[in-house]
Amino acid sequence: MAVYYALGDALVTEEELIEKRALGRMAEFSKALRKKSADATLEFSTGRLTADNLLSSVVLPSGDTVPFEEVGPGKPLSVEIRHIYTGKFPKKGVFDATKDMLVTSAMKSLATFNAAPRAVNFMRKDVRAHYNLSNPAATEKGTPLIHYTPALTERNTVLTLEIGFDEFPDEIFDIVGGALTQAAGIPLFVAGSTHLLAAGAITRLLGKLGSRVFDRAPVFNATEPLTFLRPGDRPPQADFRLITEENADLTLLQEFRAGPEGLIDGNGKRYDGPLPYIVISLDGRVHDEYREFAPTAASAALLERFYSIRDGQEQTLGPLLDALKLYNDWSFRKKADALARDLEKLDSKSPEYKKKKAEHDALVANILSDLLRPKN
């Protein structure tokens, strides 16, 4: 697996970033930016980072760009799939050249031993090799959202992305499509091997169907750490990232730029070679419509212990999900109260106070219930 950082108009390897930091080039660029210098420039082997192209995202019809919002502890964080390219996959069969595609993601804390629930982002019929996907059409089911928190409290996490191909039965598309419709922008989570959770309801797949869908080996599997406070690691920035399973050659990195439409060269031509890839983005905007993401993900990891339902049956989870949300809120409130007591003993102008106050505010921002949210 290889990860490339989209910095300005360059695709940069981790090794080159480490080199620039060791030589002091990153610090020089940051210093120039703080002085609001329009001449701030950092040269890479595949392009350059400037004050103008830093944190730029989508170009608007007016010619302006939508900037990324800074990410970090205490700030909102959304992680999204911005583009998928299947490259040489799926392999042609004897009788057909297409397969059905399943795209899943999972994200968990480095301190968590248990596996995170897998989220279903896209499920698409009749996909050929060299297929491009940026967003589901309004008439299709799916969501690019991988992860969202209104205020980051988990400092070190790991993200896994998978793409698999098969001939999935129509029943699977009907059930998954219906659940994704209910989810309204939140991914559909797999609880155990055959349970699907979305928007307050859990559905059990037919045993054989569930095993066929989620126990197949993916053709693309990539894991990327997102470590905001780990010695020796580079904290994630708000930007695009190009993720591949194998190293891309230098020519590709020099000719193409990563963005919401995938890898595009200087003439506007999209990459059409054999290398499959996924472009993701990290951003620090507030998205109130995603506030149910964390409670839903937490619930998916626990639900199979509580429910035993027949194959193909759906059951409402309202009371259980409400209880799990309250437990989540209560856990955040306990930690926030402990920090509030520490703050009372500190000088409000000290660096330690400011650090703990930021941690306290991040915990409070994750509390969904007004009943459990501190009044001040």
Asked if the peptide bond before residue 76 counts as cis, ω within 30 degrees of 0, the response is no
| pLDDT at res. 174 | 82
Q: Is residue 375 part of a domain?
A: no
Mean pLDDT by 10 residues, the chain (376 residues): 88 88 86 77 90 59 70 93 96 82 91 80 92 80 90 90 90 78 76 73 72 79 90 85 90 92 93 96 92 81 58 64 81 93 93 92 91 84
Domain membership of residue 20 (yes or no) is yes
Residue 373 placed within a domain? no
Q: Which of 279, 254, 11, 274 is nearest to 131 (CA)?
A: 274
Structure tokens at 224: 């990327």
Residue 207 is predicted with a pLDDT of: 64
* Residue 200 confidence (pLDDT): 67
Same domain for 207 and 190:
yes
Q: Which residues contact 323 (CB under 8 A, 6 or more apart)?
A: none
pLDDT score recorded for residue 300:
78
Backbone angles phi, psi at 300, to 5 degrees: -60, -30
- What pLDDT, on a 0 to 100 scale, did the predictor assign at position 111? 77
What pLDDT sits at residue 191? 77
> Environment class of residue 24 by beta-carbon count within 10 Å: exposed (0-12), middle (13-18) or buried (19+)?
exposed
Please check whether residue 212 lies inside any domain of the structure.
yes
Does any domain span residue 67? no
pTM assigned to the model: 0.82
On whether both 327 and 309 belong to a single domain, the answer is no
Residue 64 resides in a domain: no
Q: What is the pLDDT of residue 59?
A: 45
Q: What is the pLDDT of residue 283?
A: 95
pLDDT of the residue at 99? 92
For residue 43, the enclosing domain spans: 1-54
pLDDT of 303: 66
As for how many domains the chain has, the answer is 3
DSSP states of 190-229: EETTTEEEETTEEEEPPHHHHHHHHSSPPSEEEEEEEESS
Helix locations, the chain, DSSP H: 14-22, 25-34, 170-183, 207-214, 250-255, 293-300, 318-344, 351-365
